[in-house]
A and B are shown apart, each in its own frame.
Chain A
Protein backbone atom coordinates (compact mmCIF):
# COMPACT_ATOMS: atom_id res chain seq x y z
CA UNK A 1 0.00 0.00 0.00
CA UNK A 2 1.29 3.48 -0.84
CA UNK A 3 1.85 5.65 2.21
CA UNK A 4 2.61 9.35 2.52
CA UNK A 5 6.28 8.46 3.13
CA UNK A 6 6.67 7.15 -0.43
CA UNK A 7 5.59 10.48 -1.87
CA UNK A 8 7.78 12.39 0.56
CA UNK A 9 10.80 10.26 -0.40
CA UNK A 10 10.26 11.03 -4.09
CA UNK A 11 9.91 14.73 -3.24
CA UNK A 12 13.15 14.61 -1.20
CA UNK A 13 15.03 13.02 -4.12
CA UNK A 14 13.71 15.65 -6.54
CA UNK A 15 14.61 18.46 -4.12
CA UNK A 16 18.18 17.19 -3.73
CA UNK A 17 18.54 16.94 -7.51
CA UNK A 18 17.29 20.52 -7.85
CA UNK A 19 19.86 21.64 -5.27
CA UNK A 20 22.61 19.92 -7.25
CA UNK A 21 21.47 21.61 -10.45
CA UNK A 22 21.33 25.07 -8.90
CA UNK A 23 24.84 24.67 -7.46
CA UNK A 24 26.54 23.21 -10.54
CA UNK A 25 25.02 24.68 -13.69
CA UNK A 26 26.35 27.89 -15.25
CA UNK A 27 23.42 28.73 -17.53
CA UNK A 28 20.99 31.02 -15.69
CA UNK A 29 17.90 29.60 -17.42
CA UNK A 30 18.82 26.05 -16.38
CA UNK A 31 19.33 27.30 -12.82
CA UNK A 32 15.84 28.77 -13.00
CA UNK A 33 14.45 25.43 -14.19
CA UNK A 34 16.14 23.65 -11.27
CA UNK A 35 14.47 26.14 -8.90
CA UNK A 36 11.14 25.20 -10.51
CA UNK A 37 12.00 21.53 -9.85
CA UNK A 38 12.56 22.29 -6.16
CA UNK A 39 9.29 24.25 -5.95
CA UNK A 40 7.45 21.32 -7.50
CA UNK A 41 8.91 18.84 -5.04
CA UNK A 42 7.67 21.07 -2.21
CA UNK A 43 4.24 21.11 -3.89
CA UNK A 44 4.25 17.30 -3.93
CA UNK A 45 5.03 17.24 -0.20
CA UNK A 46 2.24 19.73 0.50
CA UNK A 47 -0.36 17.74 -1.42
CA UNK A 48 0.76 14.38 0.02
CA UNK A 49 0.49 15.69 3.60
CA UNK A 50 -2.81 17.46 2.89
CA UNK A 51 -4.26 14.27 1.44
CA UNK A 52 -2.92 12.25 4.37
CA UNK A 53 -4.41 14.62 6.95
CA UNK A 54 -7.65 14.94 4.94
CA UNK A 55 -7.50 18.72 5.00
CA UNK A 56 -7.69 21.34 2.24
CA UNK A 57 -5.14 23.87 3.57
CA UNK A 58 -2.06 22.40 1.88
CA UNK A 59 -3.68 22.41 -1.53
CA UNK A 60 -4.68 26.07 -1.19
CA UNK A 61 -1.04 26.79 -0.34
CA UNK A 62 0.02 24.98 -3.51
CA UNK A 63 -2.24 27.31 -5.52
CA UNK A 64 -0.46 30.30 -3.96
CA UNK A 65 2.97 28.74 -4.66
CA UNK A 66 1.93 28.39 -8.30
CA UNK A 67 0.89 32.07 -8.42
CA UNK A 68 4.25 33.13 -6.98
CA UNK A 69 6.07 30.83 -9.44
CA UNK A 70 4.24 32.50 -12.31
CA UNK A 71 5.25 35.95 -11.07
CA UNK A 72 8.82 34.70 -10.65
CA UNK A 73 8.82 33.36 -14.21
CA UNK A 74 7.75 36.70 -15.68
CA UNK A 75 10.20 38.84 -13.71
CA UNK A 76 13.13 36.39 -13.83
CA UNK A 77 12.98 35.81 -17.56
CA UNK A 78 12.64 39.57 -18.21
CA UNK A 79 15.78 40.05 -16.08
CA UNK A 80 17.63 37.43 -18.12
CA UNK A 81 16.64 39.07 -21.40
CA UNK A 82 17.83 42.46 -20.09
CA UNK A 83 21.12 40.98 -18.90
CA UNK A 84 21.66 39.25 -22.23
CA UNK A 85 21.02 42.53 -24.06
CA UNK A 86 23.69 44.30 -22.00
CA UNK A 87 26.39 41.62 -21.66
CA UNK A 88 25.74 39.17 -24.56
CA UNK A 89 25.69 36.18 -22.17
CA UNK A 90 23.62 34.67 -19.37
CA UNK A 91 26.46 32.66 -17.86
CA UNK A 92 26.40 33.14 -14.08
CA UNK A 93 30.21 33.14 -13.98
CA UNK A 94 30.14 36.35 -16.05
CA UNK A 95 27.73 38.10 -13.67
CA UNK A 96 30.52 39.79 -11.70
CA UNK A 97 29.68 43.50 -11.85
CA UNK A 98 29.67 43.76 -8.04
CA UNK A 99 33.05 42.05 -7.64
CA UNK A 100 36.03 44.16 -6.64
Chain B
Protein backbone atom coordinates (compact mmCIF):
# COMPACT_ATOMS: atom_id res chain seq x y z
CA UNK B 1 0.00 0.00 0.00
CA UNK B 2 2.71 2.44 1.01
CA UNK B 3 4.83 1.59 -2.01
CA UNK B 4 1.94 2.37 -4.38
CA UNK B 5 1.56 5.76 -2.70
CA UNK B 6 5.30 6.31 -3.01
CA UNK B 7 5.25 5.57 -6.73
CA UNK B 8 2.29 7.89 -7.29
CA UNK B 9 3.98 10.79 -5.48
CA UNK B 10 7.27 10.09 -7.28
CA UNK B 11 5.47 10.13 -10.63
CA UNK B 12 3.86 13.48 -9.82
CA UNK B 13 7.22 14.89 -8.67
CA UNK B 14 9.01 13.79 -11.85
CA UNK B 15 6.24 15.07 -14.14
CA UNK B 16 6.24 18.43 -12.32
CA UNK B 17 10.03 18.61 -12.66
CA UNK B 18 9.62 17.91 -16.37
CA UNK B 19 7.15 20.81 -16.58
CA UNK B 20 9.71 23.06 -14.88
CA UNK B 21 12.32 22.39 -17.54
CA UNK B 22 10.00 22.30 -20.58
CA UNK B 23 7.34 25.00 -20.13
CA UNK B 24 7.91 28.07 -22.26
CA UNK B 25 6.36 30.55 -19.84
CA UNK B 26 8.30 31.13 -16.58
CA UNK B 27 5.04 31.30 -14.61
CA UNK B 28 4.15 27.74 -15.64
CA UNK B 29 7.64 26.61 -14.65
CA UNK B 30 7.18 28.24 -11.23
CA UNK B 31 3.87 26.44 -10.67
CA UNK B 32 5.47 23.12 -11.60
CA UNK B 33 8.25 23.85 -9.13
CA UNK B 34 5.71 24.50 -6.35
CA UNK B 35 4.14 21.12 -7.15
CA UNK B 36 7.55 19.43 -6.89
CA UNK B 37 8.14 21.09 -3.51
CA UNK B 38 4.85 19.71 -2.17
CA UNK B 39 5.74 16.20 -3.41
CA UNK B 40 9.12 16.46 -1.64
CA UNK B 41 7.31 17.55 1.55
CA UNK B 42 5.20 14.36 1.30
CA UNK B 43 8.43 12.37 0.98
CA UNK B 44 9.78 14.04 4.13
CA UNK B 45 6.66 13.04 6.06
CA UNK B 46 7.13 9.46 4.82
CA UNK B 47 10.72 9.61 6.10
CA UNK B 48 9.63 10.55 9.66
CA UNK B 49 10.72 14.20 9.34
CA UNK B 50 7.54 16.28 9.79
CA UNK B 51 9.36 19.48 10.81
CA UNK B 52 11.36 19.33 7.57
CA UNK B 53 8.10 18.98 5.60
CA UNK B 54 6.66 22.01 7.37
CA UNK B 55 9.64 24.27 6.69
CA UNK B 56 9.88 22.92 3.14
CA UNK B 57 6.39 24.22 2.48
CA UNK B 58 6.83 27.43 4.48
CA UNK B 59 10.29 28.44 3.25
CA UNK B 60 10.35 27.10 -0.31
CA UNK B 61 6.73 27.09 -1.46
CA UNK B 62 5.83 30.03 0.73
CA UNK B 63 8.73 32.47 0.66
CA UNK B 64 11.13 31.70 -2.19
CA UNK B 65 8.48 30.90 -4.80
CA UNK B 66 6.51 34.05 -3.93
CA UNK B 67 9.73 36.04 -4.40
CA UNK B 68 10.33 34.38 -7.79
CA UNK B 69 6.75 35.01 -8.92
CA UNK B 70 7.03 38.66 -7.85
CA UNK B 71 10.18 39.09 -9.92
CA UNK B 72 8.62 37.34 -12.95
CA UNK B 73 5.64 39.67 -12.83
CA UNK B 74 7.80 42.72 -12.09
CA UNK B 75 9.89 42.07 -15.18
CA UNK B 76 6.77 41.21 -17.25
CA UNK B 77 8.37 38.15 -18.80
CA UNK B 78 5.22 36.20 -19.59
CA UNK B 79 4.46 38.10 -22.78
CA UNK B 80 7.96 39.21 -23.78
CA UNK B 81 9.42 35.77 -24.50
CA UNK B 82 8.07 34.54 -27.82
CA UNK B 83 11.25 33.57 -29.63
CA UNK B 84 13.53 30.58 -28.98
CA UNK B 85 13.74 29.72 -25.31
CA UNK B 86 16.33 26.91 -25.34
CA UNK B 87 19.83 26.34 -26.64
CA UNK B 88 22.21 23.40 -26.95
CA UNK B 89 19.64 20.63 -26.47
CA UNK B 90 21.73 17.75 -27.87
CA UNK B 91 24.86 18.25 -25.77
CA UNK B 92 22.85 19.10 -22.67
CA UNK B 93 20.70 15.98 -22.91
CA UNK B 94 23.83 13.89 -23.37
CA UNK B 95 25.41 15.50 -20.30
CA UNK B 96 22.36 15.13 -18.08
CA UNK B 97 21.84 11.54 -19.27
CA UNK B 98 25.45 10.86 -18.28
CA UNK B 99 24.74 12.35 -14.83
CA UNK B 100 21.62 10.19 -14.46
CA UNK B 101 23.32 6.96 -15.58
CA UNK B 102 26.23 7.69 -13.24
CA UNK B 103 23.94 8.23 -10.25
CA UNK B 104 21.75 5.19 -10.98
CA UNK B 105 24.88 3.07 -11.41
CA UNK B 106 26.22 4.19 -8.03
CA UNK B 107 22.85 3.66 -6.32
CA UNK B 108 22.41 0.19 -7.84
CA UNK B 109 25.94 -1.00 -7.17
CA UNK B 110 26.66 0.77 -3.89
CA UNK B 111 25.41 0.01 -0.42
CA UNK B 112 24.58 2.52 2.30
CA UNK B 113 26.86 2.23 5.31
CA UNK B 114 27.66 4.49 8.20
CA UNK B 115 27.46 4.85 11.95
CA UNK B 116 23.91 4.30 13.15
CA UNK B 117 22.61 6.91 15.57
CA UNK B 118 19.95 6.58 18.24
CA UNK B 119 17.13 8.70 16.72
CA UNK B 120 14.58 5.96 16.13
CA UNK B 121 11.09 6.65 14.70
CA UNK B 122 9.69 5.72 18.12
CA UNK B 123 11.82 8.42 19.77
CA UNK B 124 10.71 10.97 17.16
CA UNK B 125 7.07 10.11 17.84
CA UNK B 126 7.40 10.26 21.61
CA UNK B 127 9.84 13.17 22.03
CA UNK B 128 8.96 15.32 19.01
CA UNK B 129 10.89 16.03 15.83
CA UNK B 130 11.17 19.81 16.35
CA UNK B 131 12.66 19.33 19.81
CA UNK B 132 15.22 16.86 18.48
CA UNK B 133 16.29 19.22 15.67
CA UNK B 134 16.50 22.15 18.04
CA UNK B 135 18.63 20.16 20.44
CA UNK B 136 21.03 19.08 17.69
CA UNK B 137 21.21 22.57 16.21
CA UNK B 138 21.84 24.47 19.43
CA UNK B 139 24.36 22.06 20.97
CA UNK B 140 26.32 20.17 18.35
CA UNK B 141 25.92 22.61 15.42
CA UNK B 142 26.02 25.92 17.29
CA UNK B 143 28.89 27.45 15.28
CA UNK B 144 27.34 26.70 11.84
CA UNK B 145 24.07 28.10 13.18
CA UNK B 146 25.75 31.42 14.01
CA UNK B 147 27.58 31.47 10.65
CA UNK B 148 24.22 30.97 8.88
CA UNK B 149 22.94 34.11 10.59
CA UNK B 150 25.95 36.05 9.27
CA UNK B 151 25.30 34.69 5.76
CA UNK B 152 21.69 35.87 5.94
CA UNK B 153 22.78 39.32 7.16
CA UNK B 154 25.25 39.68 4.27
CA UNK B 155 22.53 38.59 1.82
CA UNK B 156 20.12 41.22 3.17
CA UNK B 157 22.74 43.98 2.83
CA UNK B 158 23.68 42.80 -0.67
CA UNK B 159 20.07 42.73 -1.84
CA UNK B 160 19.43 46.23 -0.49
CA UNK B 161 22.58 47.61 -2.15
CA UNK B 162 21.76 45.93 -5.49
CA UNK B 163 18.18 47.17 -5.49
CA UNK B 164 19.19 50.83 -5.20
CA UNK B 165 18.58 53.09 -8.16
CA UNK B 166 22.00 53.83 -9.60
CA UNK B 167 23.77 50.45 -9.70
Q: How far is the CA of A81 from the CA of B163 in the complex (A)?
A: 8
- For A64, the chain B residues whose CB sits under 8 A away are 144, 148
Residue of B nearest to A11 (CB): B103
**A70, B21: Cβ atoms closer than 8 Å:** no
**A16, B103: Cβ atoms closer than 8 Å:** yes
Name B1-23 residues within 8 Å CB distance of A: 2-3, 6, 10, 13-14, 17-18, 20-21
Task: Say what secondary structure dominates the interface of chain A.
Answer: helix
**A73, B64: Cβ atoms closer than 8 Å:** yes
- For A52, the chain B residues whose CB sits under 8 A away are 112
**B14, A14: Cβ atoms closer than 8 Å:** yes
**B119, A55: Cβ atoms closer than 8 Å:** yes
**A18, B17: Cβ atoms closer than 8 Å:** yes
* A24-B89, A66-B55 as given contacts; A17 in contact with B152, CB under 8 Å: no
In-complex Cβ contact of B18 among A17, A24, A33, A74 (8 A): A17
**B13, A14: Cβ atoms closer than 8 Å:** yes
Chain B interface: which size bin?
35 or more
* A17-B96, A78-B158 as given contacts; A60 in contact with B148, CB under 8 Å: no
Q: What number of A residues sit within 8 Å (CB to CB) of B?
A: 69
* A1-B3, A34-B20 as given contacts; A82 in contact with B167, CB under 8 Å: yes
A-B contact pairs, 29 of them (CB 8 A): A5-B112, A6-B10, A10-B43, A16-B100, A17-B20, A18-B21, A19-B92, A19-B95, A19-B96, A19-B99, A23-B95, A24-B21, A24-B88, A24-B93, A32-B68, A33-B29, A34-B20, A34-B21, A37-B20, A40-B36, A51-B48, A53-B117, A55-B117, A60-B140, A70-B155, A74-B156, A78-B158, A79-B162, A82-B167
List 13 additional contacts besides A53-B114, A63-B133, A67-B151; criterion CB under 8 Å: A16-B96, A16-B99, A24-B86, A24-B89, A24-B92, A51-B48, A54-B118, A62-B52, A67-B152, A74-B156, A74-B158, A79-B162, A90-B77
- Interface set of B (CB-CB < 8 Å, partner A): 2-3, 6, 10, 13-14, 17-18, 20-21, 26, 29-30, 33, 36-37, 40, 43-44, 46-49, 51-52, 55-56, 59-60, 63-64, 67-68, 71-72, 74-75, 77, 81, 84-89, 91-93, 95-97, 99-100, 103-104, 107-108, 112, 114-120, 132-133, 136-137, 140-141, 144, 148, 151-152, 154-156, 158-159, 162-163, 167
